Structure 1
Amino acid sequence: MTTSLVLSLPAELLLLVLDDDGNLRVDSTKRKAAVAGAAVLQLVLDGVLDLEPGEPGRARLVARPGAATLQSAVLEQAKERAVGHTPKDAVARIGGASDWKGRAKDIQESVLDELAAAGVLDRFQHRHLGLFTSTSWPLRRPEVRSDIQARIDTALDGGPPDAQAAALVGILNAIDLLPKLFPRRDKKAMRRVAEQIGELGWAGEAVAQAISQVQAAVIASVVVSTTAANS
């Protein structure tokens, strides 16, 4: 069964991050970096941001003239943090060591609320010992997630992915979530294919370069945050 919903990259990412009970199964450090990367790439895919010509790793994100005004306040903040910076620095400024205001968490909560409002998720708050609450997001429409996984599965089998699927594969690979989503696949072979998908250039050189750099940026952001936490 297919779905007529058109979901953003952060929305597709978070649906795959949720386990079958509606709990977020990726630790907060990886999750923040991944959400930040998804937000940056969504802005690139939507034509709001572009990657200026330049040496890979040094090219900066620029606002594309004439781009439509963003309706999402959290994505507008992400855009402001990203403009003038490399994808690596943009991810760090939104969801890594350079972010002090929890912008990635704001994006996450906004997207989950939107998915609940659309009827894709339920929202349950759990009280623990009367002292604090936690939230789970059980799936109401599991076919929506199944459709996303099917697109990724096709890409991993060598089928030509759309730009959003390629971006999603890159981020999932960066946070090592692919083996949980596709446990029957050989892990090393799957990682190899995932690394190649964003480098194919089928969606235009700037998009392919942005996907590749954001994947590297998410990995770098996770490493930096983990090192800082353990120091």
Structure 2
Amino acid sequence: MSVTLGEEIMLLSLDDESGVAKERQSAGWAVAGGTLLELVMAGRVSVDGGRIAVTGTESTGTGLLDEQLRLIAVWAAKRRKPPKVTEWLTRDQSKAVRATIESLRERGLVGEEQHKVLGVFPVRRFPEADGAVERELRDRLSRVVLHGEEPDARSAGLIALIHAAKLHRLAFPDLPKGKVSPRMEEVMEGQWAGESVRTAIRTMQAAMVAVTVATAVTVIG
């Protein structure tokens, strides 16, 4: 079963038993970034100078990506110049998470449970329904990060996003960050894709740092 980069990050975030999202905010930035990177890799979007431009509107063959592409195209068309990546991530984070979880539910990879907190406030949770995709995902990450296997472009892009969003504990919960971070950095800086994709990764890394810092300042203030 083919899943998107955003879906892979969401699978790592959702607790298998409880269905609660771990490191939800950082994972949300990475999910939004993963969708954008997927569109860059598909040749539908470019990221240059910290800004987004739509380069093609034909279908990617994946409904989740096509809808995100449509939203970016509509949003960008209303602006006088190409929007910044930070603006899109901030705008898209929560929507991307909801859309990605819904896609996972429709695919049968997660279930849905509804609870009420204090008997009043409804809460939806998404425990694992089919663990085969996540097991393959974690095995793939382990082969590349722990055993030095050469990554393909999508695996390298996923690792770069995880590293940029500091989600090491989601990917490798039993290992300290120092054990996996150097290899992730090496993968992120590698020559695994064309310059346009590597530029997009560097831009999104900087954007995720920027939005995370801005969010932290807002919360503290």
What TM-score, normalized to structure 2?
A: 0.84
Work out whether residues 51 and 206 of structure 1, in 8 Å CA contact, stay in contact via their aligned partners in 2.
yes
**Aligned counterpart for 1:8 among listed residues 4, 7, 18:** 4
2:55 is aligned with 1:64:
yes
2:196 is aligned with 1:203:
no
Per-residue deviation, 1:179: 2.8
Deviation beyond 6 Å, 4+ runs, structure 1: none
| Stretches of structure 1 lacking an aligned partner (at least 5 in a row) | 53-57
Per-residue deviation, 1:215: 2.1
5 Å-filtered alignment, 1:1-231, equals: 5-20=1-16, 21-28=18-25, 30-52=26-48, 58=49, 60-65=51-56, 67-69=57-59, 71=63, 72-81=66-75, 85=82, 89-90=84-85, 92-96=86-90, 99=91, 103-156=92-145, 157-231=147-221
SS of 2:21's equivalent?
coil
Per-residue deviation, 1:186: 4.6
SS of 1:165's equivalent?
helix
SS of 1:134's equivalent?
strand
Separation in structure 1 between the aligned mates of residue 76 and residue 144 of structure 2, nearest angstrom: 28
Per-residue deviation, 1:61: 3.3
Per-residue deviation, 1:177: 2.0
Per-residue deviation, 1:77: 1.4
Work out whether residues 7 and 31 of structure 2, in 8 Å CA contact, stay in contact via their aligned partners in 1.
no
Separation in structure 2 between the aligned mates of residue 146 and residue 159 of structure 1, nearest angstrom: 17
Separation in structure 1 between the aligned mates of residue 127 and residue 156 of structure 2, nearest angstrom: 26
| Stretches of structure 2 lacking an aligned partner (at least 5 in a row) | none
SS of 1:61's equivalent?
strand
SS of 1:113's equivalent?
helix
* Alignment coverage as a number of residue pairs: 212
SS of 2:122's equivalent?
strand
What TM-score, normalized to structure 1?
A: 0.81
Per-residue deviation, 1:22: 1.3
Separation in structure 2 between the aligned mates of residue 27 and residue 117 of structure 1, nearest angstrom: 21
Work out whether residues 174 and 218 of structure 1, in 8 Å CA contact, stay in contact via their aligned partners in 2.
yes
SS of 2:116's equivalent?
strand
Specify the code of the residue in structure 2 equivalent to 1:125.
Q
Specify the code of the residue in structure 2 equivalent to 1:136.
R
Separation in structure 1 between the aligned mates of residue 10 and residue 139 of structure 2, nearest angstrom: 16
Work out whether residues 199 and 209 of structure 1, in 8 Å CA contact, stay in contact via their aligned partners in 2.
no
Deviation string, structure 1 residues 54-97 (Cα, Å, up to 9, x no partner): xxxx26433224x41465334421355578657xx31x22332x
Separation in structure 1 between the aligned mates of residue 37 and residue 8 of structure 2, nearest angstrom: 13
Specify the code of the residue in structure 1 equivalent to 2:178.
K
Separation in structure 2 between the aligned mates of residue 149 and residue 77 of structure 1, nearest angstrom: 31
Work out whether residues 121 and 140 of structure 1, in 8 Å CA contact, stay in contact via their aligned partners in 2.
yes
Separation in structure 1 between the aligned mates of residue 111 and residue 71 of structure 2, nearest angstrom: 27
